[in-house]
Structure 1
Amino acid sequence: MVHTQEAAPGATPRFADAAVTFDDVLAELARRRAEFREQRYVPKDFVDRLKQTGLYRAATPAKFGGEPLPPAEFLDRIERISAVDGSTGWVASFGSALIYLAALPVETQAKIYRDGPDVAFAGGLFPIQAAEPTDSGFRVDGHWKFASGCMGADILGVGIPGDESTAGKPRTALLRPDQVEIVQNWDVVGMRGTGSFDLVVRDVEVPREWTFIRGGEPTVDEPLYRYPVIAYAAQVLAVVGAGVARAALDHAEEVGSGYAGVTGAPKLADRPYYRAEVAAAEAALRSARAWFYELSNEVWETVVAGDPATDEQNAHLRLASAHLARTASEVVGRLVEISGTAPIYRDHPLQLLLGDALVPKQHAFLGPAMYDAAGAVLMGLPPTTPGFR
């Protein structure tokens, strides 16, 4: 079943190719998601399908032909994809990653977008690998992990150290796919189809103007690039968890009236604890989701008005993202717990969704440390986590 998620407040549909509707792409995804899970990555032909919906121009500067979306609109799209397949939602979420590239020199950006605004960027940014400075740039050589979506990417990034000019923040060096070896070693219990493989680069010189500071000052003055960059990166991952939890709730509500245990016990929907837990899970997810989108719209209005997002707004965005990821994972876990023995089977829908829901919550941008860092900022203290803003 393809779930139609209610649109985020203020969302208006836009498509790069008017002949391709978002629902067409979701229907195709529902047919192919098992294929992606089995091969462990979303292939380039389907990334091209996502491009037709405008997802990979949603963070391209308008000056280069992009159609930048307000974050809440983009997040709503990612949530709807994730309700069909979390892995594809995770890969599609990196359509937002072009906000990082806004820190590149304008001339470099013009070269990136010269063939069109639909660009898929993927990166293996950690662990940071040493890069020898050269007269014109950096000599890159190393091995990086977690390059989600790399199999369908048009351009790849790897993490290298910063220097005095970056205030200690690391750089990302950009490379063509033919300069990078992809090691297909992704073997996980959740988000199996993200293709978060390792990247290996051997002795490639990258010009300085093809590197950027992650979260660095943008060289393009458009509203989207004034929205907090790292907070947005956390949001696009958290909302994947929300989509996965939505799929789990849809499943629980649909099968509750039809599933009876092998012992002859009442149908799930006839059991008071099942009804109560499904209702509580529904309330928890919708509440976390509403706060998440409310904050995104509030911060967007601030930056569109020409004002910078405040430290408190950034902290709230980070906190709401961590809370949504945690809530989504807990929702799926609760549904598994009340669903009898059926979910113990490896191919049961809830078992697959349980693994997918775990991944956003475990991400460094969304883990327990975010609560401490957000709390510190809200009480007037410095954030306790590096890269919080």
Structure 2
Amino acid sequence: MLNLSDRLVHEVRENAAGIESAGSLSPGILDYIYEAKLFKLFVPEALEGLGAGLPEALRVFDQAAWVEGSFGWLVTIGAGGGFFAATLPSEQSRKLFGGRKAVVAGSGHANGIATPVDGGYRVSGQWKYCSGSTYASMFTANCKIDRGLGGDAEIRSFVFMPEQVKIIRDWKSFGLKATDSHSIAVEDAYVPAERTFDIFSTPHYDDPIFRYPFVPFAQTSFAAVCIGLCRHFLEEARSFAAARQADWGTTQPARLTALTRMLDDKERAYQQAAERFYDTVDRTWAGRCSRQAARVSLECAHAIFPLLGMAALMEDHVLNRIYRDLHTVTQHTMLSSVNP
């Protein structure tokens, strides 16, 4: 099991407010991620990656989100891009994913138009929510192929190099503020055919992760982030209650009792949901319980937050930051209750 070092946990936690204010991870934290190959969790060992399986990787995402929300989200998203190493042509996979700082930012929405030309495509488009955009070594995005034939357009995935991409710094979110999840745009960029791929094609690496369906792969990854965030929220809320005990025990005993009881109840619910999630993943590598785990995590925070008093309303309070990050993760379409 890959564990994050105590030094990293301390560094990220101590600088969490500054990271959020800056809107980006610090260079030192990024260096640790590169050194530990966290962005290359799923990249095959043949490409200098860790070749991790899903159960192990989910626990890393959980742990990283427990450390700090934006850090956990970026590790999760950055590592998830390694899934594409098995669907690009082999030579391109070696070029794009073999480097120490290889990491993908991009979007799954088909917001681009690709026109076939000799040897490849000319592509224009704009995509939102590309986490890790400021340090990505490559960008991936889906495009509709314009063949001028009418009917439903074919959709294909494209890899853009950083010099082809304009970053539109528009990520001004409620939570996950330090994820650089800006929009990107390309204009009339040439992409050779060998830098395009179909995520549903037969993978050319044998690692089991590349035979796992992509949608539950994403769902379980994001659910693990929710679990880690909720665990951190519960720990901080328990510490908050202990710190208020002397004061509230005299001035607001009913609030203290309600908060303590709610913590006991929600910690049990959280533990049951987390154990069910990991038991399912370990036994079957299945993603059916992902939305439930995310829902329970959010319900825990919803129930406890109103009992924390005015202090938790301040944006610079750690409980406020975790609360906002958790809400932001659960808004993702992969975890939304309206998503089939």
Query: Normalised by the size of structure 1, how large is the TM-score?
Result: 0.79
Matched, 1:349 2:336: no
Matched, 1:245 2:235: no
Equivalent in the alignment of 2:70: 87
Equivalent in the alignment of 1:281: 266
Alignment of 1:157-168 (within 5 A): 157-161=140-144
Alpha carbon RMSD of aligned pairs, Å? Answer: 2.3
Q: How far, CA to CA, are the matches of 1:162 and 1:280 in structure 2?
A: 52
Equivalent in the alignment of 1:360: 329
Structure 1 residue 66: Cα displacement: 2.1
Q: How far, CA to CA, are the matches of 1:75 and 1:168 in structure 2?
A: 35
Equivalent in the alignment of 1:264: 251
Equivalent in the alignment of 2:53: 70
Q: How far, CA to CA, are the matches of 1:329 and 1:169 in structure 2?
A: 37
8 Å contact from structure 1 (residues 86, 241) kept in 2:
no
Structure 1 residue 127: Cα displacement: 5.0
Equivalent in the alignment of 1:143: 126
Matched, 1:229 2:198: no
Alignment of 1:36-75 (within 5 A): 36-75=19-58
Change (3 A) 1:43 1:152: farther
Q: How far, CA to CA, are the matches of 1:169 and 1:63 in structure 2?
A: 32
8 Å contact from structure 1 (residues 278, 335) kept in 2:
yes
Matched, 1:106 2:90: yes
Tell me which of 182, 191, 212 is aligned to 1:197. 182
Tell me which of 288, 291, 294 is aligned to 1:322. 291
Per-residue deviation, residues 313-358 of structure 1 (Å, max 9, x unmatched):
4xxx1x3111111111111111102223332333232222221111
8 Å contact from structure 1 (residues 169, 214) kept in 2:
no
Per-residue deviation, residues 55-110 of structure 1 (Å, max 9, x unmatched):
12211112223221121211111111211211110000021321123111112112
Deviates more, 1:229-238 or 1:39-48: 39-48
Tell me which of 1, 7, 11 is aligned to 1:28. 11
1:202 aligns to what SS in structure 2? strand
Deviates more, 1:341-350 or 1:59-68: 341-350
Equivalent in the alignment of 1:335: 304
Runs of 5+ unmatched residues, structure 2: none
Matched, 1:213 2:198: yes
Q: How far, CA to CA, are the matches of 1:162 and 1:322 in structure 2?
A: 33
Deviates more, 1:103-112 or 1:255-264: 255-264
8 Å contact from structure 1 (residues 257, 268) kept in 2:
no
Q: How far, CA to CA, are the matches of 1:345 and 1:262 in structure 2?
A: 23
Deviates more, 1:357-366 or 1:63-72: 63-72
Query: Normalised by the size of structure 2, how large is the TM-score?
Result: 0.90
Runs of 5+ unmatched residues, structure 1: 1-11, 15-20, 301-312, 374-389
Change (3 A) 1:125 1:96: closer
Structure 1 residue 37: Cα displacement: 0.8
Q: How far, CA to CA, are the matches of 1:246 and 1:109 in structure 2?
A: 36
Q: Which amino acid aligns with 2:2?
A: P
Q: Which amino acid aligns with 2:14?
A: R
Q: How far, CA to CA, are the matches of 1:134 and 1:22 in structure 2?
A: 49
8 Å contact from structure 1 (residues 44, 152) kept in 2:
no
Structure 1 residue 139: Cα displacement: 0.8
2:239 aligns to what SS in structure 1? helix
Change (3 A) 1:160 1:40: same
Q: Which amino acid aligns with 1:325?
A: A
Change (3 A) 1:156 1:45: farther
Structure 1 residue 286: Cα displacement: 1.2
Q: Which amino acid aligns with 1:189?
A: F
Matched, 1:254 2:239: yes
Identity in percent: 25
Q: How far, CA to CA, are the matches of 1:196 and 1:346 in structure 2?
A: 20
